[in-house]
Amino acid sequence: MANFDFLSISPDLVLIAFAVLFLLMGSFSRTPGVHNYNMLSISAFSLAILFNLLLFGSKRFGFYDMMLYDELAGIFRFIFYGIGIIVSLMSDPYIEGKIKHKGEYYALIILSIVGMSFIATSYDLIMLVLGVEAMSLSVYILAGMFKHDEASAEASIKYFLLGAFSTAIMLLGIAFVYGTVGTTNYSLIVQNYNKYLHGGIQTGIFLFGVAAILAGVLFKIAAVPFHMWTPDVYEGAPTSVTAFMISGVKAASFFMLIRVFLIALKVAVFNFVDIMVFISIITMTLGNIAALTQRNIKRMLAYSSIAHAGYMLIGFVALNKTGLAAIVFYLIAYALMNLGAFAVLVLLEEKGKDLEHVSGCGFLYPFLGLMMTIFMFSMVGLPPTGGFMGKFYVFKGALEAGYLWLVIIAVLNSAVSAYFYLRVLVYMFFEKPIDAGGALRTSSATVTTALVLTSVGILFLGIFPQFFFEITTKYMTYLP
Amino acid sequence: MIQEYLGYAFSFLAVVLAISTIIQKNPVYSAASLIGVMLMLACNYVLLNAEFIAAIQVIVYVGAIMVLFVFVIMLLNIEYAKREKLYYRGRIFGVIIGVALLLKLLIVGYSMAIKIQQGDLPVPKDLDSTKVVGKYLFSNYILPFEVISVVLLIGIIGAVVLGRKERPNGEQKEEVVVKTIGSTH
């Protein structure tokens, strides 16, 4: 089946071409400082979206069954490219003057998204590992791009060492799976499992492999036993990069979880439901409780991202159509609200990183105050925002699967989370400003565009949730 | 049969050398032990009829990566690493987890027999292992092979961006100020 289907990877080819162009522009241009890299990268992502739109709706195997492009992979490609556009919009004023290699910065963001896109279309564990490596390696470098900031360097090295270790564990798991079923192709794994291993005591070593793969994936998701790196890395990395990690890398990792465990390893997934219930509960509880005591807003959002991972894992515990489609919906809302909140932080960072420093900013900058209100309401899960509908659908899926007590724990958790999300708004609106207002140095039209896009997206998801949820339900064809 | 015993012998030596890598106090001895581990793995690959992988293992790991390690040790001039203090805090916890994992692997390993004899991809009998690797690398695995180039590109960018020396903007300005003051005097 030598089907060299170049059309199905055309968005990735476009993006790689643009990334190489950025690298060459940095070295061959006579005036390297003046290029509008962000506009170029936005046009790259727009082109990729266009190509993906042409492909959408078809189901294609390609390159000796190394990849499978289906509708859900298409939806996730749209999510990744959209995240790329918003991150490009908010990066430029923030990294101006702090990063000398702007071309490399955008090239790495693009290449990381290429890696995510390969994860989304992978149909072989080898392609999956390469996608994960391309995605994570770029992010390790991006996290250390502020070379004169010690926290940034620390974040980079910490993420790199722990991430490399987690990838090694995942590779070990893949080796065990290969050793027992003799293949890395998703559909052949299921076939060979049924042929060689079904119903015997021989599944032990296969299950060990699956568990190691699960550990690698949960590390990327930042679920609790593997969450230690999250606060330091998210706090230390440049804010625009944190926004990218918290939305893009997490979306890709969740799709990796769904795709690998519901296509290739669906034979073993029910063995892990009990563990996942446990992980989901401690993830959201620990994330929320740790976030309560944080004064640094970025660190608070890092712990909140752990808690959100816990909510999303409920959908994976439910393992039914509603729950899994709800994860996709939740991921879109979650990416939008985090990108928005970080875009506000990008602007306010010159004031300082702690809660005290944003005192009174809500009235000094009414637009930013309004935006932050929308994003924080969405994080708590208040209507009419996307965060509310995401939680609603996830809980609905869990209820359909009969996990009433799990939903009760999750609702209690989100009640706890209201305290630290709304505290940001309390500081912004009810505390006295520490200094006079005046225009923010980093404010620019591109960040404002990013803010408008994300807030409109969140309100749209909250007011007309049916539109997206029907699409995700329709295309959620991976079922155990 | 002799192959099986040789395999066990090489594996045992590899484990011993791996433990030695961790517990040696002199980093040069650690590096030498790691070279031993790589060589033992290469011997095992030869026993498994994968001569090409064995050769690559020796060339890449022993020839390139370990030489790099030794260079770094030489340049940093580390004589004795202070490992006891570094790893003391979590040691008991780590030992418990490690032993649990080992027991799990041993139990699982002894309680099962792997039914499959070889992987799904057919290996032509008339080709040696180098040709088989080449054949599959450029047919079935052509897409991963090409995607690796993207991953390597990212690695190169990272090495250049993070490795290059940069002066902060403020420092340069200070230098200029100092020079002008010097010239006026």
CB-CB under 8 Å, A66 with B166: no
Is residue A218 a part of any domain in this protein? no
Is residue A301 a part of any domain in this protein? yes
Which residues make beta-bridge pairs with A69?
A: A60
State the nearest Cα–Cα gap between A469 and chain B, in angstroms.
Answer: 33
Mean pLDDT of chain A: 90
Q: How many structural domains are present in chain A? A: 1
The partner residue sitting opposite A127, judged by closest CB among B109, B143, B166, is B143
Helix H or strand E segment including A69: strand A67-69
CB-CB under 8 Å, B112 with A202: yes
Is residue B116 a part of any domain in this protein? no
State the nearest Cα–Cα gap between B184 and chain A, in angstroms.
Answer: 30
CB-CB under 8 Å, B166 with A130: no
Is residue A381 a part of any domain in this protein? yes
CB-CB under 8 Å, A147 with B144: no
| Helical packing angle, A102-121 and B142-163, nearest 10° | 150
Is residue B124 a part of any domain in this protein? no
The partner residue sitting opposite A202, judged by closest CB among B115, B119, B157, is B115
What residues of B are in contact with residue A140 (Cβ under 8 Å)?
158
User: Which of A22, A69, A129, A205 would best serve as a mutation to test chain B binding (most B beta carbons within 10 A)?
Assistant: A205
CB-CB under 8 Å, B147 with A130: yes
The partner residue sitting opposite A208, judged by closest CB among B104, B148, B162, is B104
Based on the fold, state whether residues B82 and B145 are members of the same structural domain: no
State the nearest Cα–Cα gap between A204 and chain B, in angstroms.
Answer: 6
Is residue A113 a part of any domain in this protein? no
Last residue of a domain, one of B47, B70, B88: B88
CB-CB under 8 Å, A205 with B108: yes
Last residue of a domain, one of B53, B88, B123: B88
What residues of A are in contact with residue B144 (Cβ under 8 Å)?
66, 124, 126-127, 130
Helix H or strand E segment including A117: helix A102-121
CB-CB under 8 Å, A144 with B157: no
Using CA coordinates, name the residue in chain B closest to A135: B151
Based on the fold, state whether residues B84 and B145 are members of the same structural domain: no
Give whole-number Cα distances, A5 to A55, A64, A67, A184, in Å: 11, 10, 10, 20
CB-CB under 8 Å, B108 with A182: no
For residues A288-300, average pLDDT: 92
Give whole-number Cα distances, B14 to A382, B38, B109, in Å: 58, 8, 19
pLDDT of residue A262 exceeding 50, the answer is yes
pLDDT of residue A463 exceeding 70, the answer is yes
Pairs of CB atoms within 8 A across A/B: 108
Q: How many structural domains are present in chain B? A: 2
Which residues make beta-bridge pairs with A60?
A: A69
Q: Which domain holds residue B173?
A: 141-185
CB-CB under 8 Å, B147 with A64: no
Considering only residues 73 to 102 of chain B, which have any Cβ-Cβ distance to chain A shorter than 8 Å?
none
Strands (E), B21-136: none
Is residue A436 a part of any domain in this protein? yes
Would you state the pLDDT for residue A280? Answer: 94
Nearest to A78 by CA among A50, A49, A111, A118: A49
Residue A146 · residue A213 · CB < 8 Å: no
Output the six-digit token pair for A45: 């992502």
State the nearest Cα–Cα gap between B135 and chain A, in angstroms.
Answer: 13
Would you state the pLDDT for residue A437? Answer: 66
For B30-61, b/e burial (b = at least 16 CB within 10 A) is: bbbbbbbbbbbbbbbbbeeebebbbebbbeeb
CB-CB under 8 Å, A127 with B157: no
pLDDT of residue A5 exceeding 50, the answer is yes
Binned at pLDDT 50, 70 and 90, residue A202 comes out as low
Based on the fold, state whether residues B150 and B77 are members of the same structural domain: no
**pLDDT tens digits, residue range A224-256?**
889 989 999 999 999 999 999 999 999 999 999
CATH code, domain with B44:
1.20.120.1200
Would you state the pLDDT for residue A7? Answer: 87
Would you state the pLDDT for residue A200? Answer: 61
Would you state the pLDDT for residue A4? Answer: 83
Based on the fold, state whether residues B82 and B5 are members of the same structural domain: yes
**pLDDT tens digits, residue range A353-382?**
888 888 888 888 889 999 999 999 999 988
pLDDT of residue A418 exceeding 60, the answer is yes
Is residue A475 a part of any domain in this protein? yes
Based on the fold, state whether residues B83 and B145 are members of the same structural domain: no
Would you state the pLDDT for residue B40? Answer: 94
Tell me what ipTM this predicted complex has. Answer: 0.91
At A122 the three-state DSSP class reads strand
Output the six-digit token pair for B97: 């987890």
Based on the fold, state whether residues B80 and B7 are members of the same structural domain: yes
Task: Kindly list the averaged pLDDT for each block of 10 residues, start to end, along chain B of length 185.
Answer: 89 94 84 92 90 92 87 75 59 86 82 73 81 88 93 93 71 44 43
What residues of B are in contact with residue A127 (Cβ under 8 Å)?
143-144, 147
Is residue A208 a part of any domain in this protein? no
Output the six-digit token pair for A73: 């992979």
Would you state the pLDDT for residue A230? Answer: 93
Is residue A1 a part of any domain in this protein? no
CB-CB under 8 Å, B108 with A204: yes
Interacting residues of A359 by C-beta distance below 8 A, sequence separation 6+: A427, A428, A431, A432, A433, A434
Q: Which domain holds residue A474?
A: 270-480
